[in-house]
Amino acid sequence: MAIRLGDTAPDFTAETTDGKIELHKWLGDSWGVFFSHPKDYTPVCTTELGRVAKLKEEFKKRNVKVIALSVDPLDSHKGWIGDINETQKCSVNYPIIADPDRKIANMYDMIHPNALDNLTVRTVFVIGPDKKVKLTLTYPASTGRNFDEILRVIDSLQLTAKFSVATPVDWKWGDDCVVVPAIKTEDIPAKFPKGFKEVKPYLRMTPQPNL
């Protein structure tokens, strides 16, 4: 069954390139990004894994742990990491799950047989510190993901978890935010001392509260 937003991310124990990992225990109080790849030694995946390695500091400053999955075995992953480091000028610094029996891929509904036979498509799960699924993305094998967008969503999720705001179209760090409809307009000044603009009674904008 598909995993939906708000569901608890299914827990599992897996063999990874960093040793055995129990997902929930390993995540601890961190946020998580769990993403799948069709196969080892494939070109698009190689570029994605390199990019994620280079974003280490961006994930760290957001308190995010990253974990990848590919259905090939551990030895294959280890050899492939050498190629990723060489070609992408990086050092893979996060675990890659070996899932040759597709146990975890099936648990997370990462195999879409009508798109790609018996291999995982490109899924992304963002998991909150409460272990709930906050974001799901599914990309075809032929399209590499945009990890700037994944960081942008994490920024939005972390902001909206703390303040009564949502983020509008194309929002990026520093842009104005939307005051959520649950807040009455007369209560906004006390909650948002930086001010607000009422564009319509249902569309109230305020500067990003945590800057």
Q: Which is nearer to ligand BEZ, 65 or 77 (CB)?
A: 77
Q: Kindly state whether residue 138 participates in binding ligand BEZ, applying the rule CB under 6 A.
A: no
Rounded CA separation 102/111 (Å): 9
Q: Which is nearer to ligand BEZ, 36 or 158 (CB)?
A: 36
> Quick one: angle between helices 43-54 and 147-162, nearest 10?
50
Q: Which is nearer to ligand BEZ, 129 or 144 (CB)?
A: 144
**# of chain residues touching ligand BEZ (CB under 6 A):** 8
Q: How far is the CB of 152 from ligand BEZ (least distance, A)?
A: 23
- Closest by CA to 32, choosing from 68, 77, 78, 81, is 68
Q: How far is the CB of 202 from ligand BEZ (least distance, A)?
A: 43
Name the active-site residue from 27, 45, 52, 67.
45
Scan residues 168-187 and list those touching ligand BEZ (CB under 6 A): none
Q: Which two tokens stand for residue 52?
A: 């994620």
Strand order across the beta sheet in which 177-179 lies: 165-166, 177-179, 203-206, 197-200
Task: Based on the residue annotation, tell me whether 45 is a catalytic residue of this protein.
Answer: yes
Q: Kindly state whether residue 38 participates in binding ligand BEZ, applying the rule CB under 6 A.
A: yes
Contact segment (CB under 6 A) with ligand BEZ among 25-33, 41-49, 75-83, 160-168 equals 41-49
Q: Kindly state whether residue 45 participates in binding ligand BEZ, applying the rule CB under 6 A.
A: yes
Q: How far is the CB of 73 from ligand BEZ (least distance, A)?
A: 17
Q: Count of CB atoms within 10 A of residue 202's CB?
A: 10
Q: How far apart are the first and last CA of the chain?
A: 40
Strand order across the beta sheet in which 96-98 lies: 19-22, 13-16, 96-98, 64-70, 31-37, 122-127, 133-139
**Rg, C-alpha atoms of the chain:** 19
Q: Kindly state whether residue 41 participates in binding ligand BEZ, applying the rule CB under 6 A.
A: no
Q: How far is the CB of 43 from ligand BEZ (least distance, A)?
A: 4
120 and 71 Cβ atoms separated by less than 8 Å: yes
Q: Kindly state whether residue 141 participates in binding ligand BEZ, applying the rule CB under 6 A.
A: yes
Site of interaction with ligand BEZ (CB under 6 A): 38-39, 42-45, 141-142
Which residues are annotated as catalytic?
45
